[in-house]
Amino acid sequence: MNGKMKTAVMTDLMEIEIRERPIPVPGDNEVLVKVENVGICGSDLHYYETGRIGGFIVKTPFVLGHEAGGTVVEVGKAVTNLKAGDRVAMEPGKTCGECEFCKSGKYNLCKDVIFFATPPVDGVFQEYVAHEAALCFKLPDNVSTLEGALMEPLAVGMHAAMQGNAHIGQTAVVTGAGCIGLVSVLALKAMGVSKVYVVDIMEKRLQKALELGADGVINGKEEDAAAKVMELTEGRGCDLSIETAGTQITTVQLMKMAKKGSTIVLVGYSASGELTLPVNMALDKELTFKTVFRYRNIYPMAIEAVASGKINIKDIVTDTFELDDIKNALDSCVKNKADIVKGVIRIH
């Protein structure tokens, strides 16, 4: 395909504009995808607002967006698994395939990963993208490209639940009811966890957690979350906890409410990069801390869970915007975190 496409280009902090760029040409092992839906992730907003996350620093012009679903319009000559017209979810990280982490299946730890919208790699707030065919997962007929775009955050929640060995009969607590907290709830419930409680301080997010299947919610502004969980579990504490808020307060709360010998999965990044935690309490309780960096080998499972109706991912979306309206979309998401739980950019 020749011609030009619309691309949303970040030109400075809190500045983004639509520019024309050439439609990319797919390589032999790539497909050209017409992008249809892209989720707005917290990391996109962080880069937009502050220009950096840890050691990843934006050099403008830069394209944000990494949660994408769309339709294949052209295939490279070596591609056999996809054809034009297939609808796909795109896994955003291309790894080297050669290092010890790739070869052992823990490819999310590959140091040479090329990941959409992680500087200096451009993302997919644009009309077309050429992407590795092996990272484009075909969607069944009953799964939309909107749901395809949401497989990326869902994969994080599923990886977190799996890191914590989630299973039937457990009581779990999730701190933070943003997108990743909510997909963690969906993953825990799909894996059979009996009771899932969610802690946040924003009422709209807590209501969304209930809507998605949480068994109870706790507003940390209004009550002592640790005391409430102890009350709900009749003093036993929780079997598994997933921390997605990235704050010292919520992490310490989870340590207080954790049952002895239980696991806490850390997912949220803290603003400073550091947390001060009561390690003696962790020793007394013999707690296990697990951490999450993105996900690995999860897209097929996530797609199957959505296709079979075990996970209703589309209900996480609260707001949709058009590509031409992207500046308003990102500004609204930054300024209105209490109301916009999950935004999506629709690209026609």
Domain extent listing, the chain: 4-138+317-346, 155-291
User: What pLDDT is stored for residue 54 in this prediction?
Assistant: 79
| Rounded CA separation 184/175 (Å) | 10
Residue whose entry in the numeric block shows the structure tokens 């209900």? 315
> Are the folds of 4-138+317-346 and 155-291 the same?
no
User: What pLDDT is stored for residue 94 in this prediction?
Assistant: 96
Helix (H, G, I), strand (E, B) or coil at 114: strand
Q: What is the pLDDT along the chain (348 residues), one digit of tens a residue?
A: 779 999 999 999 999 999 999 999 999 999 999 999 999 999 999 999 999 987 899 999 999 999 999 999 999 999 999 999 999 999 999 999 999 999 999 999 999 999 999 999 999 999 999 999 999 999 999 999 999 999 999 999 999 999 999 999 999 999 999 999 999 999 999 999 999 999 999 999 999 999 999 999 999 999 999 999 999 999 999 999 999 999 999 999 999 999 999 999 999 988 888 999 999 999 999 999 999 999 999 999 999 999 999 999 999 999 999 999 999 999 999 999 889 999 999 997
Burial tier of 2 (Cβ tally within 10 Å: 0-12, 13-18, 19+): exposed
| 145 CB neighbour count, 10 Å cutoff | 24
Measured torsion, CA atoms of residues 275, 44, 36, 183, in degrees rounded to the nearest 10: 20
Measured torsion, CA atoms of residues 201, 202, 204, 208, in degrees rounded to the nearest 10: -50
The CATH label, of 3.90.180.10, 3.40.50.11540, 3.30.499.10, 3.40.980.10, for the domain at 4-138+317-346 is 3.90.180.10
CA angle 345, 177, 347 (to 5 degrees): 5
User: What pLDDT is stored for residue 285 in this prediction?
Assistant: 98
User: What pLDDT is stored for residue 270 in this prediction?
Assistant: 87
| Rounded CA separation 329/335 (Å) | 10
Angle subtended by helix axes 42-50 and 326-335, to nearest 10: 90
| 270 CB neighbour count, 10 Å cutoff | 15
User: What pLDDT is stored for residue 29 in this prediction?
Assistant: 97
User: What pLDDT is stored for residue 273 in this prediction?
Assistant: 85
| Rounded CA separation 41/57 (Å) | 17
User: What pLDDT is stored for residue 272 in this prediction?
Assistant: 85
258 contacts 285 by C-beta, under 8 angstroms? yes
* Homologous superfamily, domain 155-291: NAD(P)-binding Rossmann-like Domain (3.40.50.720)
| Rounded CA separation 22/33 (Å) | 14
Structure tokens at 168: 């039937």
Cα separations (Å) of 245 from 59, 250, 251, 257?
27, 7, 8, 16
